[in-house]
Amino acid sequence: MSRPIIIDGHADTLHSIWNGSPRFAERVEGEALDMPLVKQTGLTAQFFAISTIDGGRYVEPLPRWALMLLDLFHRQVEAHGDDILHATCADDVLTAHADGKLAAFVALEGGDFLDGRIELLRMYHRLGVRLLVLTHFRRNTLADSTREASTGGRLTPFGVEVVREMERIGMIVDVSHVADAAVDHVFDIAEKPVVSSHANARAVYDHPRNMTDAHLRRLARNGGLIGLSIVPFFIDRGCRTFARFMDHMEHVIQTAGIDHVGFGSDFDGFDYVEDPRIEGLEDISCFARIGDALSASGYSDADVGKVLGGNWLRVVRDVLG
């Protein structure tokens, strides 16, 4: 196989940099994602998330926090222009791949950042944001989250407006963290591919953050994808192994199809928990390892290429151009 395109749909590395992690340009043992490792592993594109949570708490006011982290993102791109390209569309990924650079997308994790204003959505888009996770750890003005799903509610009228405006301006709708009823509502109204950027299969391990089979099938009909996560407590609290992760992979392929699965590691987003990283899934070198495991299971080079990054690239082109 020629050098594949590898895309990861979710990492919280901006927060690690903000909180004093060694510079992104340097290789530090134990770090899951940095530029030397990007070059070593051939990672092509990364979605860098700005989360509503930092240090275990919401950072208020959230719009100010978003602007501070967006400034950090743009400063990192400027400081490492020889190695990083700020990506906003599929052609940027192809350019970065050809030039040996990392295509860096920036995402917002939580519709709370909108503060109830559609104008902020458009401003974030102008600042380069190309993906929005509709909810995070709490209910907001768009929908219930998986942690606060007691109302059984669907999208609010504002949530419907946001989804429709995201599709109009070119921003990927992400249903990670969104309560089940609201996920159904998103699929009811979505006209472009939707993603669940970092989750696994609920049928393999029953966790509210994992996708049901019904949602996986709707995701496939919608043309979207699920980015499988290496978060240990999404894989299985009682069986934290590489093989168990591959159980999720195989189930999603069989349920949604090979065209609707990719990666959404969530690296740097769960270091605060007691669960250690899983052997074989410690850093971004795991993507090639997963590809090798798929090949060993009999999947063709073309199908492995879809999982590594081809499916993400298709969704990016369909939604962002």
User: What does the domain layout of the chain look like in residue ranges?
Assistant: 7-320
Residue 85 has pLDDT above 60, yes or no: yes
Q: What are 210-213's contacts with CB under 8 Å, separation 24+? A: 210/234, 212/180, 213/255
Q: Token pair for residue 33?
A: 């994602």
Q: pTM of the predicted model, to two decimals?
A: 0.95
pLDDT score of 58: 84
Band of pLDDT at residue 20, cut at 50, 70 and 90: confident
Distances (CA, A) of 204 to 175, 194, 201, 236, 309: 19, 22, 5, 8, 23
Q: What is the rounded distance in angstroms from the CA atom of residue 90 to the CA atom of residue 282?
A: 28
Distances (CA, A) of 5 to 139, 312, 315: 36, 10, 14
Query: Residue range 12-34: average pLDDT?
Result: 78
Q: What is the rounded distance in angstroms from the CA atom of residue 41 to the CA atom of residue 33?
A: 10
Q: What is the rounded distance in angstroms from the CA atom of residue 123 to the CA atom of residue 57?
A: 25
Region at 177 (left for phi over 0; alpha for psi -120 to 50; beta for the rest): left
Residue 269 has pLDDT above 70, yes or no: no
Q: What is the pLDDT of residues 60-73, one digit of tens each?
A: 999 999 999 999 99
Q: What is the pLDDT of residues 129-145, one digit of tens each?
A: 999 999 998 899 999 99
Say which residue, 172 or 239, is predicted with more confidence. Answer: 172
Band of pLDDT at residue 35, cut at 50, 70 and 90: confident
pLDDT score of 124: 99
Distances (CA, A) of 261 to 59, 150, 179, 213, 310: 32, 29, 20, 13, 10
Q: What is the pLDDT of residues 207-218, one digit of tens each?
A: 999 999 999 999
CATH superfamily for domain 7-320 = Metal-dependent hydrolases (3.20.20.140)
Say which residue, 299 or 238, is predicted with more confidence. Answer: 299
Strand segments, DSSP code E, in 134-280 are 172-174, 194-199, 225-228, 261-263
Q: What is the rounded distance in angstroms from the CA atom of residue 295 to the CA atom of residue 300?
A: 6
Residue 272 has pLDDT above 60, yes or no: no
- Cβ-based burial of 54 (10 A; exposed 0-12, middle 13-18, buried ≥19): middle
Query: Contact 65/51 with Cβ under 8 angstroms?
Result: no
Q: State the Cα angle at 290 between 256 and 253, rounded to 5°.
A: 10
